[in-house]
Amino acid sequence: MLDVQKIREDFPILKREVNGKPLVYFDNAATSQTPQVVIDAIVDYYSNYNANIHRGVHTLSQEATDAYEIARKKVQKHFNAKHTHEIILTSGTTHSINIVATSFTHILKKGDEIIVSALEHHSNIVPWQMLSERSGAVLKVIPINEEGELLMDVYDQLLSEKTKLVFTNHISNALGTINPIEEIIQKAHKVGAAVLIDGAQSCPHIKPDVQELDVDFYVASAHKLCGPTGVGLLYGKEEWLNKLPPYQGGGEMIDQVTFEKTTYAGLPHKFEAGTPNICGGIAFGIALDYMNEIGFDEIAEYENELLAYGTKKLLEIEGLRIYGTSKNKTSVISFNLEGIHPYDIGSIVDKLGVAVRTGHHCAQPIMDFYQIPGTIRASFSFYNTKEEIDILVEAVKKAKMMLL
């Protein structure tokens, strides 16, 4: 059983006040908070061994290189990739998706098809639309039902030998729905299509095993996993990463350069042009250690408890509707109050110290599906408490009273 009071001690930000009230942080689906060990790692890097990596022979550079490569190994181990060089450290999920989408430009032909789910974040829609425009491949969409679940029978119909790529998130950021990615991957492979899974939302709750999933590409961000912003990963199967052309040119990614011809470095450096976020990468490794020490099974169990409690308490408010009601969902509650704009609720609960997200959550197609301008989204993490949920519920009630 997870000791939430002890865990809260690890997060200095949870002690602060907002608008004179203790902070209640429920915007975890956007960015998780940072434990002291990660902050210490960042300070330690800049205080003691800040240097560029992979080239200097001096001690600082070697220490920084070692620490960065240890972090890559931690990422490999956490996601259970077969090889360390299958882990490309990027600036985050969006960057990772763009690497794959850009690199596929010359692999796809006109008339090929790519499939995306209707539950995607804009970052997992727009790069593929751009790829579709460049390559002439057709973009198809797996629709959802009222509960916010993918219609898998339609997916079956969309798949054909023309399908070359399928991409979906593991968990919807706007609704919290957990998608059946095992089935999506298996079925795509049957028609010879590659699959990219956006794990940005699932990583904080579920520890994925990329080999067991047999997924071709898997992307995620450190800042949802108690790590810093500006770091993430692209996992790709070795054979795919070898097949794809480099994404950006620059230092680090080369083997030999002459003005006549450049040969590229091997994996993972081929996709890591330029000086990376060294400190961020190292801190990402420490964040994974921290979360693994708590344990993902314990985290999931506790967050499910918060989800059940929050759902029950919020539904006691008259006129409140929750969007995304799948039985398979994580600790994200997206809701609206009848007759009130989500922005109004968000503004008032912020004044009461509660941080929630309002708006379309970068998932406009989902909002269009429900014909709403947006929702209020409360997303819980393992350091949140039931008492904080009570504060949210009271704040929403107060907002309702003021606004109606």
Partner 1 sequence: MSIQEIQEEIVDEFSMFDDWMQRYEYMIDLGKSLPLIEEKYKIEENIIKGCQSKVWVHAEMKNDKIEFTADSDAIITKGIIAILIRVFSGQHPKDIMDADTAFIDEIGLKEHLSPTRANGLVSMIKQLKMYAIAYQTQLN
Q: Report in angstroms how near the CB of residue 271 gets to partner 1 at its nearest.
A: 31
Residue 295 in contact with partner 1, rule: CB under 8 A? no
Q: Give 243's strand partners.
A: none
Among 351, 355, 394, 397, binds partner 1 (CB under 8 A): 351
**Helices within 21-86 (DSSP H only):** 36-44, 59-79
Q: Which amino acid is located at 30 in the chain?
A: A
State which residue, 180 or 373, has the beta carbon closest to partner 1: 373
Residue 57 or 401 having the CB closest to partner 1: 401
340 binding partner 1? (CB under 8 A)? yes
Q: Is residue 44 close enough to count as binding partner 1 by CB under 8 A?
A: no
378 contributes a contact to partner 1 by CB under 8 A: no
Q: Which is nearer to partner 1, 1 or 401 (CB)?
A: 401
To partner 1, the closest distance from the beta carbon of 18 in angstroms equals: 11
Name the minimum Å distance from CB 344 to partner 1. 5
Cβ within 8 Å of residue 73, ≥6 positions away: 84
Q: Contact letters (x/-) for partner 1, 9-28, by CB under 8 A?
A: ----------x---------
End-to-end CA distance of the chain: 42
248 binds partner 1 (CB under 8 A): no
Q: Which of 3, 8, 6, 10 has the alpha carbon at shortest distance from 36? A: 10
Of the candidates 203, 226, 279, 362, the residue annotated as catalytic is 362
Shortest separation between residue 94's beta carbon and partner 1, angstroms: 18
| Least distance to partner 1, CB of residue 342, Å | 8
* 347 near partner 1, judged by CB under 8 A: yes
Q: Among residues 203 and 345, whose Cβ is nearest to partner 1?
A: 345
Q: Please identify which residue in 233, 374, 391, 400 interacts with partner 1, judged by CB under 8 A.
A: 374
* 355 is a site residue for partner 1 (CB under 8 A): no
Among 64, 291, 348, 367, binds partner 1 (CB under 8 A): 348
The rounded distance, in Å, linking the Cα atoms of 207 and 189 is: 22
Q: Which stretch binds partner 1 (CB under 8 A): 141-149, 168-176, 200-208, 339-347?
A: 339-347
Q: Which two tokens stand for residue 279?
A: 């400190």
DSSP SS3 for 329: strand
Phi, psi for 341 (deg, rounded to 5): -75, 135
Contact (Cβ atoms closer than 8 angstroms) between residue 81 and residue 210? yes
Tokens 């360390």 sit on residue: 84
Q: Which of 358, 375, 379, 384 binds partner 1 (CB under 8 A)?
A: 358
Say if strands 332-337 and 113-117 run parallel, antiparallel, or are unpaired.
unpaired
Measured from the CB of residue 377, what is the shortest distance to partner 1 in angstroms? 13
Nearer CB in complex with partner 1: 32/358: 358
Q: Distance between CA atoms of 69 and 205, rounded to whole angstroms?
A: 25
Q: Is 341 in contact with 373 (CB distance < 8 Å)?
A: yes
35 belongs to the binding site for partner 1 (CB under 8 A): no
Q: Does 214 bind partner 1 (CB under 8 A)?
A: no
Q: According to CB under 8 A, which one of 136, 145, 248, 343 is a site residue for partner 1? A: 343
Bridge partners (DSSP) listed for residue 197: 168, 218
Instruction: Note if 362 is an active site residue.
Output: yes
Q: Max alpha carbon distance in the chain (Å)?
A: 71
Q: In this structure, what token pair is assigned to residue 111?
A: 């008339």
Distance CA 326, CA 149 (A): 7
Nearer to partner 1, 207 or 360 (CB): 360
Q: Which of 303, 365, 385 is nearest to 124 (CA)?
A: 365
- Check whether the bond before 268 is cis (ω within 30° of 0): yes
**Least distance in Å: CB of 371 to partner 1?**
13
Is residue 7 within 8 A of residue 197, CB to CB? The reply is no
Handedness of CA 96, 97, 100, 101 (dihedral sign): negative
The residues annotated with a catalytic role in the active site are 362
Binding site for partner 1 (CB under 8 A): 19, 340-341, 343-344, 347-348, 351, 358-359, 373-374, 402-403
